Chains A and B, each alone.
Chain A
Amino acid sequence: MTQAPERYMGGGLPRKEDPNLVTGRANWTDNIKLPGMLHLAMLRSPFARAKITKLDVSGALERPGVVGAFTGAELADQWPGGVPCGAVVSDQQNSPFFSPIVTDEVRHVGDVLAVVVASDRYTAQDALESIVVDYEPLPPVVNMEAALAEGAPLVHEEFGTNECFKYTAGVEGIDDLFDAPDDTQLEGGGVRGPNVGGQGDTGEAMRRADVVIKERYIQQRVLPTAIEPRAVVASPEPGHQGIVMYSSTQVPHLLKIVLSLSTGIPENEIRVVAPDVGGGFGSKLNLYREEIIAVVLAKKLGTPVKYVEDRSENYQATIHGRGQIQDIELAANSDGKILGLRVKLLDDMGAYLQLLTPAIAVSGAALFPGVYNFENFAIEIKGVFTNLTPTDAYRGAGRPEACFAIERAMDSLARELNMDPAEVRRRNFFEPFDEPTANPAGLQYDSFNLQAVLDRAIELADYESLRAEQQRRRESGDPVQLGIGFSTYTEICGLGPSQALAGLGLGGGGWEAANVRMLVTGKVEVATGTSPHGQGHETSWSQIAADVLGVTPDDVDVIHGDTDAVPFGRDTYGSRSLAVGGIAVYHAANKVVEKGKKIAAHMLEASEEDIEFEGGRFSVAGSPDQNVTIQDVAGAAYLAADLPEGMEPVLNESMIYDPPNFTFPFGAHICVSEVDTETGKVKLRDYIAVDDCGPVINPTIVDGQLHGGLAQGIAQALYEGVIYDEEGNLVTASMVDYMIPGAPELPNFTLDRTVTPSPSNPLGVKGVGEAGTIGAPPAVINSIVDALSPLGIKHIDMPASPMRVWKAIQNAQGKQSGDRQIDASLEASGADIKQGR
């Protein structure tokens, strides 16, 4: 009898990953102990910019337990490629050589100028104190506008400028309407552009508009803060003729390639393993200098070398997120219809280019139009070097920044026109569609039903009652005012079609690989090129394979994160894993079924066309009693004693899947905040998020992704911000000084979803990893500004700390407020309080 198969996709299966994690049996990189393993410690610069005039490591070598101490000069020939950058967004991009250990000049606090290798980590750390350095401090550049000013100190003198690149799309006349005219080289020559289309005539749109919203938004730097710091163990493996690198990374497959480019070690002699990884959020999407140094020293010394950063090093030397100054102009008619948008961005590179640094803002460029359908769009992005820690991908990576700008501007437009912020959005939404439709930047959105998510969010929030309560509080002069903030967003997920990624300056390689094999006993192994670090791929991929093959998820084992066990892969980032890697699993499993049909037909002495497959059983159409299970077929395929003529043994199928398009989840978020006008404290009373990421494989995991993303988005809006002083010192260099939210700082979330399948893949899935960080920041700030708008307050920069909110209220009421420490990297940009513009 064929039983109706249980369907696992769509069910909230508890995770297969959990047992090791809740019992303390996880395998973190720092757990790894190998015979003869030495420990590495970094001597880091306390200056943002200085010449090294003397460097003597001999004192360290005299200490007991110290095996070696090295300068950059001694090891320079070991890393001909330096720390590689894989992103080229313009032919004229200035890409400096990034030496893992500097040889002449330090360029940010935390830059590495020498290293010690010793028998244990305490000894290695102690020995750093015996290294003698003389510095000649030089004036640093710590903010982007100062960096671009005439006569600014240069981060990299060889370029003669602090401009890393300029990227433009549709920029004709863009400078006419911005305050600070730029140079005139606006033709965009040499731009390798994604298909970001500036299009139309934004100047004409601005002239004929009834209203032009002109604002400056600051995307403060934030610290990704995976709770597991970075860790690496490099081990020379004689049998492998090369090196094994265990790393707390999101991208073992990329590391294998990039490590080869850096060191010249042939790619086939490198094996990279990502053991259990304690969070990444983009910060472990990089080959870091410390990994290169560990590998080079392990090879040189012929013994394993371990490096584990402490949190202060994590904040100084792991990439930072965000770091943009956004000038935007939004033109509209009095009915709220948008006529055009133009954007001028400064994007903070920091002192060097990490793997994707220049591509972050560029990859978000085409998303500035958001979910709105209009004609004219132009953007200019300048990458700027500063004497600060390099920036790179942080959860959302270019998309939260774009979403924030358009969603803040939409609220300003609503206020200017005295319209409801939901209504002004509605008037500009795309009508629902389920086939690719171009946005104003030429991006092909895959499927939308924006009206449905907004309707549902408004219903869940009980919007009318909230407005009534707000009115009551305003009229009664309640010291605690109510704010309602909207954000309707989309994002680019499923990175990505290889050709499109090449267009973004990322070279290509957006595919993902999967291998599905059935063992002789009928059990299943799925090898995936994705590399999860909390996302639960072992569970979700098991659900996909189980449904296709008609087995249970417990029959499936998912293998990942080892370049020897999974030969091809492109890893986990950019909300790509399900929409690319999960689809590869789906296709490979279907190939297994297709081959199984041929074998079943042979076993049942029937024609292949007559074989039906359901619930793990192959049967002959019309004769359900004539059947074999997929386990029987797997056994027969493995033993190969009686297979159809010429058939390859074993059910063992692979798929390398290159998606035809990105995917575009979307959603509507409503933040309800209570703003204490006497203290400036903002309390989030409710947060409603209605998201559409297409059909959901595991709703429990999807909700978890949303929770975490929302928490990080709210954190950027309310709590987190890197602070540098004018000397380029990182003030927020530990968790004592940098506030990531704890449980009391976050609300409960009200989640719901609609389901609009993507036409781009057979499961219709879109991805969800970054939705929260993209949707949340503007919803939160919009709610605060909404609460305070009767005071004339039009904007508050992130993070909207109590001090900042209180100060805005004081200023709006014409009272003096004191000063506080603000981030010097943004100070000159007016990043503190702006209101009443």
Chain B
Amino acid sequence: MRRIKLSVNGVTYEHEVEPRLLLVHYLREGLNLTGTMVGCNTSNCGACTVLLNGQSVKSCTLFAVQADGHEITTVQGLQSNGEWHPMQTAFHENHGLQCGYCTPGMILASVSYLKENPNPNEEEIREALEGNYCRCTGYENIVKAVQQAAGQTS
């Protein structure tokens, strides 16, 4: 077992964990932060996307011990003062989700991408989200949502 200390959604945690414990399982089973989900186990689908020090990572690819000393943000930490993040609002207003299973990962990947490129065009958004699969929407409204959020945050 290894001792880790990390910040998740602004709260500091210290735990003893198995070195092989995946970060996504630490978040879900250890901290009950079930807004982060497993979709593929192979880092393809992006349902498990979280922010590590503000950058999107796939939490099924990281061990919990690799997050030691870092800041993690899950979808549950995206609101501030009870207000939705503009990306959450944009997904809602543009019908950028149906079943919603990919949505937290998709939102976090988009938030992370807009920090890199605040004014992307459609093609750039599509390329940027290639690591996040959605099976319901055909992506069209997801792209629109990211465009709307980009307009608001830039």
Contact status B98-A748, CB under 8 Å: no
Contact status B135-A279, CB under 8 Å: yes
Interface presence of B63 (CB below 8 A) = no
Contact status A281-B135, CB under 8 Å: yes
Beyond A14-B92, A23-B88, A279-B136, is A708–B98 a contact (Cβ under 8 Å)? yes
Beyond A28-B34, A707-B138, A735-B44, is A277–B39 a contact (Cβ under 8 Å)? no
Q: Report which of B18, B41, B78, B102 forms a contact with A311, defined as CB distance below 8 A.
A: B41
Minimum Cβ distance to chain B for residue A577 (Å)? 13
Interface presence of A677 (CB below 8 A) = no
Contact status A24-B74, CB under 8 Å: yes
Contact status A312-B41, CB under 8 Å: yes
Instruction: State A93–B133 Cα separation when bound (angstroms).
Output: 39
Beyond A310-B41, A735-B42, is A534–B136 a contact (Cβ under 8 Å)? yes
Instruction: State A17–B97 Cα separation when bound (angstroms).
Output: 10
Cβ–Cβ < 8 Å partners of A276 in chain B: 99-100
Minimum Cβ distance to chain A for residue B115 (Å)? 19
Contact status A736-B44, CB under 8 Å: yes
Interface members, chain B 108-154 (any A CB < 8 Å): 122-123, 125-127, 129-143
The proximity string for A residues 745-782 relative to B, scoring 1 for CB distances below 8 Å and 0 otherwise, is 01011000000000000000000000010000000000
Contact status B142-A743, CB under 8 Å: yes
Cβ–Cβ < 8 Å partners of A748 in chain B: 122, 140, 143
Minimum Cβ distance to chain B for residue A127 (Å)? 15
Interface presence of A710 (CB below 8 A) = yes
Interface stretch, picked from A220-228, A399-407, A468-476, A790-798, is A220-228
Contact status A707-B99, CB under 8 Å: no
Beyond A24-B34, A276-B100, A740-B135, is A227–B45 a contact (Cβ under 8 Å)? yes
Instruction: State A17–B18 Cα separation when bound (angstroms).
Output: 37
The proximity string for B residues 29-70 relative to A, scoring 1 for CB distances below 8 Å and 0 otherwise, is 100111111111110110100000000000000000000000
Contact status A749-B138, CB under 8 Å: yes
Instruction: State A746–B129 Cα separation when bound (angstroms).
Output: 12
Contact status B107-A22, CB under 8 Å: yes
Instruction: State A534–B136 Cα separation when bound (angstroms).
Output: 8
Interface members, chain A 308-354 (any B CB < 8 Å): 308, 310-312
Of chain A, the residue at the smallest CB distance from B9 is: A24
Contact status B102-A18, CB under 8 Å: no
Instruction: State A630–B139 Cα separation when bound (angstroms).
Output: 42
The proximity string for B residues 80-103 relative to A, scoring 1 for CB distances below 8 Å and 0 otherwise, is 000010001001110101111111
Contact status B101-A227, CB under 8 Å: yes
Contact status B95-A708, CB under 8 Å: no
Contact status A534-B99, CB under 8 Å: yes
Interface members, chain A 345-375 (any B CB < 8 Å): none
Sort chain B's interface into a size bin. Answer: 35 or more
Minimum Cβ distance to chain B for residue A766 (Å)? 20
Interface members, chain A 11-50 (any B CB < 8 Å): 12, 14-15, 17-26, 28, 30-31, 33
Beyond A229-B39, A533-B99, is A31–B34 a contact (Cβ under 8 Å)? yes
Minimum Cβ distance to chain A for residue B77 (Å)? 9
Of chain B, the residue at the smallest CB distance from A248 is: B101
Interface presence of B12 (CB below 8 A) = no
Of chain A, the residue at the smallest CB distance from B100 is: A21
Minimum Cβ distance to chain A for residue B61 (Å)? 13
Contact status B104-A24, CB under 8 Å: yes
Contact status B138-A708, CB under 8 Å: yes
Contact status A30-B138, CB under 8 Å: no
Beyond A18-B100, A227-B101, A228-B101, is A24–B141 a contact (Cβ under 8 Å)? no
Of chain B, the residue at the smallest CB distance from A712 is: B135
Sort chain A's interface into a size bin. Answer: 35 or more
Of chain B, the residue at the smallest CB distance from A734 is: B42
Contact status B95-A15, CB under 8 Å: yes
Beyond A28-B37, A708-B138, A742-B132, is A534–B100 a contact (Cβ under 8 Å)? yes
Of chain B, the residue at the smallest CB distance from A749 is: B140
Cβ–Cβ < 8 Å partners of A707 in chain B: 137-141
Instruction: State A742–B126 Cα separation when bound (angstroms).
Output: 8
Max chain B C-beta neighbours (<10 A), residue from A20, A28, A734: A28
Instruction: State A707–B140 Cα separation when bound (angstroms).
Output: 7
Beyond A226-B135, A742-B131, A748-B140, is A278–B92 a contact (Cβ under 8 Å)? no
Q: Report which of A227, A535, A772 forms a contact with B134, defined as CB distance below 8 A.
A: A227
Cβ–Cβ < 8 Å partners of B98 in chain A: 279, 534-536, 704, 708
The proximity string for A residues 718-746 relative to B, scoring 1 for CB distances below 8 Å and 0 otherwise, is 00000000000000001110001011101
Q: Report which of B40, B107, B125, B138 forms a contact with A710, defined as CB distance below 8 A.
A: B138
Cβ–Cβ < 8 Å partners of B123 in chain A: 744
Cβ–Cβ < 8 Å partners of B18 in chain A: 122
Interface members, chain A 650-708 (any B CB < 8 Å): 700-701, 703-704, 707-708
Contact status A24-B142, CB under 8 Å: no
Minimum Cβ distance to chain A for residue B131 (Å)? 7
Q: Report which of A14, A311, A742 forms a contact with B129, defined as CB distance below 8 A.
A: A742
Cβ–Cβ < 8 Å partners of B136 in chain A: 279, 534, 704, 708
Contact status B40-A311, CB under 8 Å: yes
Beyond A19-B92, A21-B100, A227-B101, is A743–B34 a contact (Cβ under 8 Å)? no
Of chain B, the residue at the smallest CB distance from A15 is: B95
Contact status A23-B99, CB under 8 Å: no
Of chain B, the residue at the smallest CB distance from A533 is: B99
25 A-B pairs with C-beta separation under 8 A = A14-B93, A18-B97, A22-B107, A23-B84, A24-B34, A24-B35, A24-B74, A24-B104, A26-B101, A30-B38, A122-B18, A227-B134, A228-B37, A228-B101, A311-B45, A534-B136, A700-B95, A703-B95, A708-B98, A711-B135, A734-B42, A735-B133, A743-B125, A748-B122, A749-B140
Extra inter-chain contacts (9) besides given A23-B35, A735-B42, CB under 8 Å: A23-B75, A25-B35, A229-B39, A278-B102, A708-B137, A742-B133, A744-B127, A746-B140, A749-B138
A-side residues, CB < 8 A to B, are 12, 14-15, 17-26, 28, 30-31, 33, 120, 122, 225-229, 276-279, 281, 308, 310-312, 533-536, 700-701, 703-704, 707-712, 734-736, 740, 742-744, 746, 748-749, 772
